[in-house]
Amino acid sequence: MAEMSYRTALVTGASSGLGRGLALWLARRGLRVFAAGRRVTHLQALAAEAQAAGVTVEPVELDVARADATLERLRELDSECGGLDLVVANAGVGGVTNGRRMDWDKVRSIIDTNVTGATATLSAVLPQMVERRRGHVVGISSLAAHRGLAGHAAYSASKAFLATFLESLRVDLAGTGVRVTTIFPGFVKSEMTAKNDFPMPFLMETEAAVELMGSGILRGETELSFPWQLALPSRLAKVLPNPLFDVAARRLR
Q: What phi and psi, each to the nearest 5 degrees, are found at residue 51?
A: -60, -40
CA distances from 171 to 2, 53, 115, 195 (A): 17, 39, 20, 36
Interface with ligand NAP by CB under 6 A: which range of 9-17, 73-81, 233-241, 243-251? 9-17
Per CB under 6 A, 12 contacts ligand NAP: yes
Interface positions, 181-240, toward ligand NAP (CB under 6 A): 185, 187-188, 190-193
The neighbouring-strand residues paired with 47 are: none
Interface positions, 65-84, toward ligand NAP (CB under 6 A): 65
- CA pair distance 231, 227, nearest whole angstrom: 6
Whole-number minimum distance, CB 177 to ligand NAP, in Å? 26
Interface residue with ligand NAP, options 9, 10, 19, 119 (CB under 6 A): 19
Interface with ligand NAP by CB under 6 A: which range of 88-96, 130-138, 220-228, 232-240? 88-96
The H or E element that residue 232 is part of is: helix 228-237
Whole-number minimum distance, CB 148 to ligand NAP, in Å? 15
- CA pair distance 160, 150, nearest whole angstrom: 15
Whole-number minimum distance, CB 53 to ligand NAP, in Å? 20
The neighbouring-strand residues paired with 8 are: 32
Per CB under 6 A, 108 contacts ligand NAP: no
Residues tagged active-site: 155
Region of 17 please: left (phi>0), alpha (psi -120 to 50) or beta: left
DSSP assignment of 82-124 = T--SEEEE-------B-GGG--HHHHHHHIIIIIIIHHHHHHH
Per CB under 6 A, 166 contacts ligand NAP: no
Considering the complex, state which of residue 154 and residue 178 has its C-beta at the smaller distance from ligand NAP: 154
Interface residue with ligand NAP, options 17, 135, 151, 216 (CB under 6 A): 17
Per CB under 6 A, 160 contacts ligand NAP: no
Contact criterion met (CB below 8 Å) for 23 and 11? yes
Interface residue with ligand NAP, options 93, 154, 169, 178 (CB under 6 A): 93
Whole-number minimum distance, CB 92 to ligand NAP, in Å? 2
* Cis amide bond preceding 227, omega within 30: yes
Residues that bind ligand NAP (CB under 6 A): 12-19, 37-39, 42, 62-65, 90-94, 113, 117, 140, 142, 185, 187-188, 190-193
